[in-house]
Amino acid sequence: MEPHVRVKSLAVIVRPEDGAMLVEEGDNRTGGRFARPLGGSIEFGERAVDALRREIVEELGCELTGASFLAVLENHFHQDGVQGHEIIFVFRCDLAEPSLYRRESIPILDVPGLEAIWRHRQARSPRLVPEGLADLLAANGLLPA
């Protein structure tokens, strides 16, 4: 496969009562664990915020409210021996379904067996990706500095 830049949108969804952020956790083949906000790739002709809304419906079966743009991050990384390059639109959002904030985990509908979990504000592990996201969230008061 020819290397290419992937363009994505991510949703920073924060639980109001404790500031925990909704993420999916994963690991690469070398055993490194990571946590990443939900979202996904932007399709040709789609606006970043519309892609994010579509992705969250696909993943959680829930609409988003109050999507506000935070920043664009550029992410160069290696995972499982493959170099990656992403341009990522980051939005601060809320879930339209209040009951989801009371659950400790939420099944990700388009990936059987995977769940989104609430990552507490003080968590330092697993590392938050993409690079630069933790600094962006700290600068916006969404994570401790």
- Identify whether the C-beta of residue 21 lies closer than 8 Å to the C-beta of residue 118: yes
Tokens representing 47? 């606006």
Q: Report pTM.
A: 0.93
Domain covering 6-139 in this structure, CATH number: 3.90.79.10
Phi and psi torsions of 9, nearest 5°: -125, 140
Any idea what the Cα angle at residue 59 is, between residues 137 and 46, rounded to 5°?
75
Residue-wise pLDDT tens digits, 12-71: 999 999 999 999 998 766 667 899 999 999 999 999 999 999 999 999 999 999 999 999
- Residue with tokens 């949703």, as numbered in its chain: 11
Q: Where are the domains of the chain?
A: 6-139
User: Which residue from 76, 86, 100 is spatially nearest to 17, judged by alpha carbons?
Assistant: 100
User: Which residue from 110, 24, 26 is spatially nearest to 62, judged by alpha carbons?
Assistant: 110
pLDDT at 41: 97
Q: What is the distance between the alpha carbons of residues 8 and 48, in angstroms, rounded to a whole number?
A: 7
